[in-house]
Structure 1
Amino acid sequence: MGGVGILLLLLPLAGAGVAWRPPKGKCSLFCSCSKDSVLCEGSPDLPDVFPPTLLSLSLVRTRVTQLKAGSFLRTPSLHLLLFTSNSFSVIEDDAFAGLSHLQYLFIEDNEIGSISKNALRGLRSLTHLSLANNHLETLPRFLFRGLETLTHVDLRGNPFQCDCRMLWLLRWMSSVNASVGTGACAGPAALAHLQLRHLDPKTFKCRAIELSWFQTVGESALGVELFSYQGEPHIVLAQPFAGRCLILAWDYSLQSFQAKEELSAPSVVSCKPLVLGLRLFVLAARLWGGSQLWAQASPDLRLAPMQALAPRRLLRPNDAELLWLDGQPCFVVADASKAGSTTLLCRDGPGFYPRQSLHAWHRDTDAEALELDGRPHLLLASVSQRPVLFHWSGGRFERRTDIPEAEDVYATRHFQAGGDVFLCLTRYIGDSMLMRWDGSMFRLLQQLPSRGAHVFQPVLTARDQLAILGSDFAFSHVFRLEPDKRLLEPLQELGPPALVAPRAFAHVTMAGKHFLFAACFKGPTQIYRIHELDLSA
């Protein structure tokens, strides 16, 4: 039953026809008054003098522009309040303050396009609420908070936009015993004309990720790696032009990342950390002058050169990866020289020594260690052929297969999600690719345009699987994996002047905050703060 109908039923209770003549000037010219009810029509403002025992008030076609806080403090005994065909468009916070006995509130057929989130605060006796036939596209979150006595709510006739702003309402509807008339969605187009009560809250994607600049670390870098030492996260940057591996740690007093240690490594391309017990090792793969292994020399994270690594085999390293084989730590170094070969180095006594030469003469640009079918695998990308997948068998890597439809792949990175193994393939020009392991080989899922890309890297944050496709010529693109579709959806663009020619990314959690490190070849390393946004707020 509409608000006017309920009002007609209640009016006989207001004195049953008992005449009441207010003192002269106490009833507005635009109002009809009885002992405990008032009906005002066409009033230019809200009347401010009412009978002390007023139980019901109806305002019809008034010229009031907005309902302000405390508009009805002089009518604390009201049980019913009705607005219809009025011109006001805004209801402010605490507009109905003081109406602790109000049971029926009908705001129907008005011009209302906005209602504040605390507009209904204090209506602890309210049982019937109608906001029908207004111009509301959304309702503020927690509008009905504290209204535990509600039994009937009418929201029909509003042009609701059924987006994330309405998610709270869908959840509220499913959690209360009140009868709710919701009407249909006016938008977006995909949901137009659907009844609100038929919408599934689980289909709404209302979380967003946003990256904002946080800090710059001087000097360009080719790589960034994360490791944990004594319970604290540390970051190591490969800085070829500065000629060092730079180790960073969080400074709690400055609330920023600061240099902790640096290792001399001219022309370094990769600084790969390894923590064994209380001891830290860092492999510094260098284009010129020979690759080295550094080891911790003192408890305060000071390191010293320990070993020259395979000087006759590692002629032009381009990448280094850490992997564990048969319970032993190993490094694989991808060699891009014509005469060199990618080399597997495993721990033997105090140092790391060549265990196997792989893929000779193929000018490998990248190595990726991964596990498939419960066994260690190694994927090598090369400028001379398609990426080749090796598997660990009998104490050595044996060729298993290559990746079809994947020419000119510069680098590969894998990640796991929902029990599946995915692969990001970086191509400099053309289309980089997202693939998924089907049990025998990697199959193409998605192609993403590349413009000077040297990195297409998955990054796992606290709750989201991201992938970042870098660009030397334009903006880099941040994607998020949508679990339902198993595809990457665009999230954000990062670009000049801060982010220039990115080469590697790493996610770091520190002091309850999430950060993204971006190593750049043509500019300083950039650190971004990762913010999680609730679009339903």
Structure 2
Amino acid sequence: MGGAGILLLLLAGAGVGAAWRPPKGKCPLSCSCSKDSALCEGSPDLPENFSPSLLSLSLVRTGVAQLKAGSFLRVPTLHLLLFTSNSFSVIEDDAFAGLSHLQYLFIEDNEIGAISKNALRGLRSLTHLSLANNHLETLPRFLFRGLETLTHVDLRGNPFQCDCRVLWLLQWMPTVNASVGTGACAGPSALAHMQLHHLDPKTFKCRAIELSWFQTVGESALGVEPFSYQGEPHIVLAQPFAGRCLILSWDYSLQRFRPEEELSAPSVVACKPLVLGARLIVLAARLWGGSQLWARPSPGLRLAPVQALAPRQLLRPNDAETLWLDQQPCFVVADASKAGSTTLLCRDGPGFYPRQSLHAWHRDTDAEALELDGRPHLLLASASQRPVLFHWSGGRFERRTDIPEAEDVYATHHFQAGGDVFLCLTRYIGDSMVMRWDGSMFRLLQQLPSRGAHVFQPLLIARDQLAILGSDFAFSQVFRLEPDKGLLEPLQELGPPALVAPRAFAHVALAGRRFLFAACFKGPTQIYQHHELDLSA
């Protein structure tokens, strides 16, 4: 039954006749009043000066532009309030403040396009609510908060957009002891004419993430590596033009990252940290002048050079990685010289010494340590052939296979999701690729256009598996793995003027916040903050 019908029943039940009028001044012009009810039609504004014992008020075709806070403070005794065929389009917060006895609120056949989230606040006795036949495309979350007495809600006849904004309503309906009439969706087109109560809340994807700029740090860099030392997160940047490995830490007072220590390393291409208890080791791989190992024996001391690393073997390093083999820490340094070979260095006594030479003469550009089938593996990308996969066997790396259909791969990075191992292959010219391990080799899963890319790096940030495809010529692309599809989907662009020629990315979590570092070759390192967005709000 509509609001007007219920009003007539209430009036009849009260035995209200049309002959009685309250004392002079208690029934405004344009209103017809009886002992405890009033019907106002065509009033240019909201009528006032009602009887203090008024129980029922109906407003029809008034000229009220909007319902403002405290509009009915002068009639606190109301039990029923009805609006129909009015022109107002907005209901503000606390519009019905003071109506603690109101049981029936009917706002039907009006021009309402917006209602504030606290518009119904204080209606603690409300049992029947109708917002039928208005122009509401959505309702604010928590609109019905505090209305525990509701038994009937009518939302029919509104052009609801059934996107993330209605998710809260779908989740709310099963939790209340009230009959709810919702009507059909007006959009989007895929859901048009579908009844709201037939929608499955689980199909709505209403959580989004955003990377927003946070801070700029120092000079250009080729690499960025996070590590934890003494329970605190740190970051080390490889800055070849500044000739140093720069270590950053978090300043809790300034809420910024600040330089903590720098290591002299001219022409450095990679700064690789390794934490062994209280001892911190940093490998500085350099194009010229020899690679070095720096060490901090214990907290409170500064890093100092302790070893020159294999000067006759590390001719032109291009990348360095850490890995553990037979419970011993090791480094692998990819060598890009024509006469060099990638070198595996493992701890032996106080230092790190060559354990094995790999892939001689192939000008390796990248090394990636990963685990497959429960065993250590090493993947090498080079300028001369397809990436080659090695596995650890008998105390050394043995060639296992190569990756077909993967020419001109500059770098590789892997990630795990849903029990599978995926591989991101960076190509400077052509399409970069995503591959998946099938138990014997990596198979092509997805191709992504990439012109001028030196990095295609996966990162697990909170619950999201991301992958960032850098570009020297255009915006860098942020992708997110969609579990349902098993594919990377575009999420966001990061680009100039801040992000120029990225070479490496890293994720750092601290103090309840998450940050993305982007080392840039033609500009300073950029730091972005990771935000989670609720699209249903």
If the length of structure 2 is used for normalisation, what is the TM-score? 0.98
Count of aligned positions: 537
Q: Deviations over 1:152-187 (max 9, x none)?
A: 111111111111221111111122121111111111
Deviation of the 1:19 alpha carbon: 3.4
Mapped contact 2:28–2:48 kept (Cα < 8 A):
no
Mapped contact 2:16–2:35 kept (Cα < 8 A):
no
Alpha-carbon distance in 1 for matches of 2:112, 2:288: 72
Mapped contact 1:321–1:332 kept (Cα < 8 A):
yes
Mapped contact 2:153–2:181 kept (Cα < 8 A):
yes
Deviation of the 1:510 alpha carbon: 2.2
Alpha-carbon distance in 2 for matches of 1:438, 1:133: 57
Alpha-carbon distance in 1 for matches of 2:27, 2:35: 11
Deviation of the 1:409 alpha carbon: 0.8
Alpha-carbon distance in 2 for matches of 1:493, 1:2: 51
More displaced 10-residue stretch of structure 1: 18-27 or 314-323: 18-27
Q: Deviations over 1:242-284 (max 9, x none)?
A: 1111111112222211111111111110000001111011111
Which residues of 2 match residues 351-390 of structure 1 at below 5 A? 351-390=351-390
More displaced 10-residue stretch of structure 1: 104-113 or 157-166: 157-166
Deviation of the 1:442 alpha carbon: 1.7
Q: Deviations over 1:48-95 (max 9, x none)?
A: 021222111111122211111111111111111111111110001111
Mapped contact 2:283–2:294 kept (Cα < 8 A):
yes
More displaced 10-residue stretch of structure 1: 204-213 or 265-274: 204-213
Mapped contact 1:14–1:55 kept (Cα < 8 A):
no
Q: Deviations over 1:452-497 (max 9, x none)?
A: 1100111111221111111111111111222222222222211111
Which residues of 2 match residues 157-196 of structure 1 at below 5 A? 157-196=157-196
Identity %: 90
Alpha-carbon distance in 1 for matches of 2:285, 2:480: 32
Alpha-carbon distance in 2 for matches of 1:195, 1:444: 42
Alpha-carbon distance in 1 for matches of 2:171, 2:293: 57
Alpha-carbon distance in 1 for matches of 2:446, 2:342: 29
Q: What SS does structure 2 have at the residue aligned with 1:227? A: strand
Alpha-carbon distance in 2 for matches of 1:26, 1:148: 34
Q: Deviations over 1:99-125 (max 9, x none)?
A: 111111111111000000000000000
Report the RMSD for the aligned CA atoms in angstroms.
1.3
More displaced 10-residue stretch of structure 1: 17-26 or 156-165: 17-26
Deviation of the 1:20 alpha carbon: 1.4
Mapped contact 2:318–2:335 kept (Cα < 8 A):
yes
Q: What SS does structure 1 have at the residue aligned with 2:190? A: helix
CA 253–52 in structure 1, closer or farther in 2 if over 3 Å, else same: closer
Q: Please name the residue that 1:251 is paired with.
A: 251
Q: What SS does structure 1 have at the residue aligned with 2:288? A: coil
Mapped contact 2:40–2:58 kept (Cα < 8 A):
yes
Mapped contact 1:161–1:186 kept (Cα < 8 A):
yes
Mapped contact 1:421–1:436 kept (Cα < 8 A):
yes
Q: What SS does structure 1 have at the residue aligned with 2:297? A: strand
Q: Deviations over 1:186-217 (max 9, x none)?
A: 11122222211122222222222222222111
Mapped contact 1:15–1:35 kept (Cα < 8 A):
no
Alpha-carbon distance in 2 for matches of 1:215, 1:49: 60
Q: Please name the residue that 1:445 is paired with.
A: 445
Mapped contact 2:80–2:102 kept (Cα < 8 A):
yes
Alpha-carbon distance in 2 for matches of 1:495, 1:257: 22
Deviation of the 1:22 alpha carbon: 2.6
Alpha-carbon distance in 2 for matches of 1:177, 1:379: 60
Q: Please name the residue that 2:147 is paired with.
A: 147
Mapped contact 1:19–1:35 kept (Cα < 8 A):
no
Deviation of the 1:38 alpha carbon: 1.1
Alpha-carbon distance in 2 for matches of 1:4, 1:75: 20
Mapped contact 1:14–1:37 kept (Cα < 8 A):
no
Q: Please name the residue that 1:82 is paired with.
A: 82
Deviation of the 1:451 alpha carbon: 1.9
Gaps of 5+ in 1: none
Mapped contact 2:278–2:298 kept (Cα < 8 A):
no
Alpha-carbon distance in 2 for matches of 1:191, 1:413: 40
1:59 lines up with 2:97 in the alignment: no
Which residues of 2 match residues 320-335 of structure 1 at below 5 A? 320-335=320-335
Mapped contact 1:14–1:35 kept (Cα < 8 A):
no
Deviation of the 1:25 alpha carbon: 4.4
Alpha-carbon distance in 1 for matches of 2:301, 2:375: 34
Alpha-carbon distance in 1 for matches of 2:510, 2:105: 50
Deviation of the 1:297 alpha carbon: 4.6
Q: What SS does structure 2 have at the residue aligned with 1:6? A: helix
More displaced 10-residue stretch of structure 1: 78-87 or 23-32: 23-32
Mapped contact 1:15–1:36 kept (Cα < 8 A):
no
Deviation of the 1:18 alpha carbon: 6.9
Q: What SS does structure 2 have at the residue aligned with 1:340? A: coil
If the length of structure 1 is used for normalisation, what is the TM-score? 0.98
Mapped contact 2:280–2:298 kept (Cα < 8 A):
no
Alpha-carbon distance in 2 for matches of 1:383, 1:244: 27
Mapped contact 1:30–1:40 kept (Cα < 8 A):
yes
Deviation of the 1:301 alpha carbon: 4.3
Alpha-carbon distance in 1 for matches of 2:56, 2:498: 63
Mapped contact 2:337–2:361 kept (Cα < 8 A):
yes
Mapped contact 1:455–1:504 kept (Cα < 8 A):
yes
Mapped contact 1:173–1:180 kept (Cα < 8 A):
yes
More displaced 10-residue stretch of structure 1: 109-118 or 258-267: 258-267
Deviation of the 1:13 alpha carbon: 2.7
Q: Please name the residue that 1:485 is paired with.
A: 485
Deviation of the 1:298 alpha carbon: 5.2
Deviation of the 1:150 alpha carbon: 0.6
Gaps of 5+ in 2: none
Which residues of 2 match residues 405-484 of structure 1 at below 5 A? 405-484=405-484
Mapped contact 1:297–1:304 kept (Cα < 8 A):
no
Deviation of the 1:235 alpha carbon: 0.5
Q: What SS does structure 1 have at the residue aligned with 2:466? A: strand
Mapped contact 2:117–2:140 kept (Cα < 8 A):
yes
Q: Deviations over 1:320-356 (max 9, x none)?
A: 0111111111111111111111111111111111111
Mapped contact 2:94–2:121 kept (Cα < 8 A):
yes
Alpha-carbon distance in 1 for matches of 2:152, 2:38: 24
CA 256–301 in structure 1, closer or farther in 2 if over 3 Å, else same: farther
More displaced 10-residue stretch of structure 1: 13-22 or 199-208: 13-22
Alpha-carbon distance in 1 for matches of 2:372, 2:174: 43
Deviation of the 1:27 alpha carbon: 2.2
Deviation of the 1:29 alpha carbon: 3.4
Deviation of the 1:445 alpha carbon: 2.1
Alpha-carbon distance in 2 for matches of 1:516, 1:270: 18
Mapped contact 1:286–1:316 kept (Cα < 8 A):
yes
Q: What SS does structure 2 have at the residue aligned with 1:298? A: coil
Alpha-carbon distance in 2 for matches of 1:252, 1:68: 45
Q: What SS does structure 2 have at the residue aligned with 1:174? A: helix
More displaced 10-residue stretch of structure 1: 295-304 or 319-328: 295-304
